Amino acid sequence: MSRTTKPYKRFRARGAAAAPEGEEGLAQLRALVAREAGDDARAAGGGGNGGGGVGAPPRPGTPGPAPGRRPGRLEREQRRALQREGRRWYSLRGLGPGGWVARGLLVLLVAFTVWGVLGYLALDSAVDESNGKITASARAALDPLPGGMLGTPTNTLILGVDARRGQTRSRADTILLMRTDPDSGRIKYLSIPRDYRVEIPGQGTQKINAAFFFNGQAGAINAVKRLTGLPVHHLIVIKFNGFPKMVDAVGGVTVNNPTSLVDCPYEAGRTVSFPEGRISLDGARALEYARARQGDCGGDFGRALRQQAVVAGLKSKVLAPSGLLLAPWRGADIVRALQTDIGTIDMAKMGWLQARLEQRPGDRILLSGEPQLIDGISFVVQTDPDRNEREIANFIATG
């Protein structure tokens, strides 16, 4: 007789009918579990129910509690173990509380991973498209960041550009430096009026917005660096003809308008008006709000402050808790309308900083100057260098 190599001894209950090997062993295992459960119950309850052991099983082969008796912990675990016999990995049969929690966490982890991967791919595609619009000379004009964006103060130049009728080259009508400072936990804006009088190499005395017209992205970067003495680490260029679509992509913006604007002259002989207080703007109205400057609309100084408000409102809309689920896709819609050197990882870091950093009322700074008419041309002229230095010092202060 050959000896079995199995670590257990197969046997058949006395008097039992012949059964297939697997079913016979399983039936005997169930009988033993039921017998042990009954012994435990009698030991705990002094042979309750007349010493009769456990009651009839709820289904064939599954032990159940005796009538009127709550099953004990060991008995419940044994019943769940029997229910789990032969189940598929995805089955929920026989799960205890821990199993439900574990599977719930697994579902959340898988969903979060899928969301993160798809969001990253959408943002990465948009960033690649925008990075291709930055010129080599502009990249050379940018200053290298001495550390990581999450730990180093970073200056990003934001330009809003537009071409006049009949011209193919644009001027920078919005010139805004944004500083993110993780050490101080602050984010600040420094606006430069577009009519600021500066020297442009090879072009003589010009408005600073003409630096983009004559020398493109690199020209604007260098003009801002010469005027402020500050490094510029990153560049974002927004074309005004694509601005309304960008705002509409996030569902519009809400801004706090400090004073009412009434019948401000605008393009094609039109006028625009905006009430005082919190106002919601779609893309077309946001562009009008950011560009109106003539009449009683505050000139370049008032317009610069409104442009800061629109940028802040756009940031708030993208990062609102109600929109976090769609934030990567909304961010991708915005990035596609930009020209920027910022890569995908740094773009995600910037989004994190925008959500984390605080902005106080005094953190919106305007480089001051005096409007003057020189040779029939309207300029903003620097008349108080000490005041400008204080404004720039406030912009980079960590306190």
Question: Distance from first CA to last CA of the chain, Å, rounded?
Answer: 91
| Eight-class DSSP state of 145 | P
Tokens of 342: 């910022």
Q: Domain 118-396 adopts which CATH fold?
A: Aminopeptidase (3.40.630)
Tokens of 275: 């009430």
Check if the beta carbon of residue 177 is closer than 8 Å to that of residue 233: no
CA 247 to chain centre: 16
Q: In order along the chain (399 residues), what is the average pLDDT of each group of 10 residues?
A: 51 49 60 62 51 47 57 70 62 67 86 88 89 95 94 95 74 92 93 93 94 95 96 93 84 88 84 91 90 73 82 77 74 84 90 86 90 91 94 90
Q: For residue 106, is it left (φ>0), alpha (ψ between -120 and 50) or beta?
A: alpha
- Tell me which H or E stretch contains 65: none
Query: What is the rounded CA–CA span in Å between residue 179 and residue 271?
Result: 34
**Planar angle of CA 125, 130, 134, nearest 5 degrees:** 145
Check if the beta carbon of residue 344 is closer than 8 Å to that of residue 120: yes
Nearest C-alpha neighbor of 237 from the set 337, 354, 136, 125: 337
For residue 307, the model assigns a pLDDT of: 84
Residue type at position 104: G
**Planar angle of CA 381, 257, 186, nearest 5 degrees:** 75
Q: What is the DSSP string of 358-391?
A: B--GGGEEE---EEEEETTEEEEE---HHHHHHH
Nearest C-alpha neighbor of 33 from the set 74, 92, 93: 74
Residue type at position 209: N
Q: Is the dihedral of CA 293, 298, 304, 307 positive or negative?
A: negative
For residue 23, the model assigns a pLDDT of: 58
| Eight-class DSSP state of 3 | P
For residue 203, the model assigns a pLDDT of: 93
Q: Where are the domains of the chain?
A: 22-86, 118-396
Q: Is the dihedral of CA 19, 21, 22, 24 positive or negative?
A: positive
Query: What is the rounded CA–CA span in Å between residue 143 and residue 328?
Result: 28
Q: Beta-carbon neighbour count of residue 325 at 10 Å?
A: 11
SS3 7: coil
The phi, psi pair for 288, rounded to 5°, reads -60, -40
**What is the reported pTM?**
0.68
Nearest C-alpha neighbor of 222 from the set 200, 240, 203: 200
